[in-house]
Amino acid sequence: MKFVAVVIFVFAFILATEAADPITCALCKATFNNLASSLAKDQATTDALATELSTKCNTIASESAQLACATMFQPDNMPILVTEFAASPDVGTTALCTQLEYC
């Protein structure tokens, strides 16, 4: 519960400050890194996320793509996916905060 309150406070602070402010940028990155880290460590949450995402794989037309999707979103792979997502320069925290105009 405390974690959720901190996340809400940080996002409220980010939204209340001017875009491209160094403090706002740093807080945005820290928030998304913290969320990714927490998600990677919380097995129950990653299992729920994996289940939700893998059920969406059935909507893909190609059977081979469905299988690849379901394999990628297995619960054992989720901590790796979250960590890699956060570290990726194309879609990671820096790119996301830049796209949201906080950096």
Return the number of other C-beta atoms located less than 10 Å from residue 27's C-beta: 19
Provide the pLDDT for residue 68.
92
Average pLDDT in the 31-53 region? Answer: 84
pTM: 0.54
CA end-to-end span of the chain: 28
pLDDT at 4 over 70: no
